[in-house]
Amino acid sequence: MNGASPPDPVMLAPGDDAVAVLRALNGDSAVVLIRPGRDATALAMARAAVAALARERAPMRINAVEPGEGTDAAAIAGAVAYLAAAPAVTGQIVTLR
C-alpha cells in the first residue's frame, strides 16, 4: 500500500439482502464487512453471494471480512486493509474469531 488508509468496508447488517447490497457496489474493489447476528441460512447466503458476485462483477474485486462477536477492531481493520490492497484476491472471505 502507499500509506493511504484503506477504504471503509461496506457494512452488511444481519437483515440486509446480501445479493442486493453486493450488486449495488461501484468502483474497482470493495470489501464487505459481514456483521455478526445472521442466522445460519442467511450467513451461508451472504458467503455464497461474495464468491458468485465477485465472478459476475469482474473485473471489480469483491471480498469480505466476517468477524465473530467481540473480534478486536484492529484485527478487522488489518483484514480489510489486506483485502483492499491485494490486487489478485477476489471472491474471498476472511473469517476472524
Backbone dihedral region for residue 66 (phi beyond 0: left; psi -120 to 50: alpha; all else: beta): beta
Domain containing residue 78: CATH number: 3.40.50.720
Q: Residue 86 has which C-alpha cell?
A: 491485494
- Total domains in the fold of the chain: 1
Q: Which residues pair with 76 in a beta bridge?
A: none
Tell me, yes or no, whether 48 lies in a domain.
yes
Tell me, yes or no, whether 2 lies in a domain.
no
Tell me, yes or no, whether 4 lies in a domain.
no
Question: How many of the other CB atoms lie within 10 Å of CB of 25?
Answer: 14
Tell me, yes or no, whether 19 lies in a domain.
yes
What is the length of the chain?
97
Predicted TM-score of the model (pTM):
0.90
Residue 54 lies in domain: 10-96
What confidence tens digit (pLDDT) does each residue in 44-90 have?
A: 999 999 999 999 999 999 999 999 999 999 999 999 999 999 999 99
What confidence tens digit (pLDDT) does each residue in 6-55 have?
A: 678 999 999 999 999 999 999 999 999 999 999 999 999 999 999 999 99
CA atoms within 13 A on the CB side of 17: 4
Tell me, yes or no, whether 59 lies in a domain.
yes
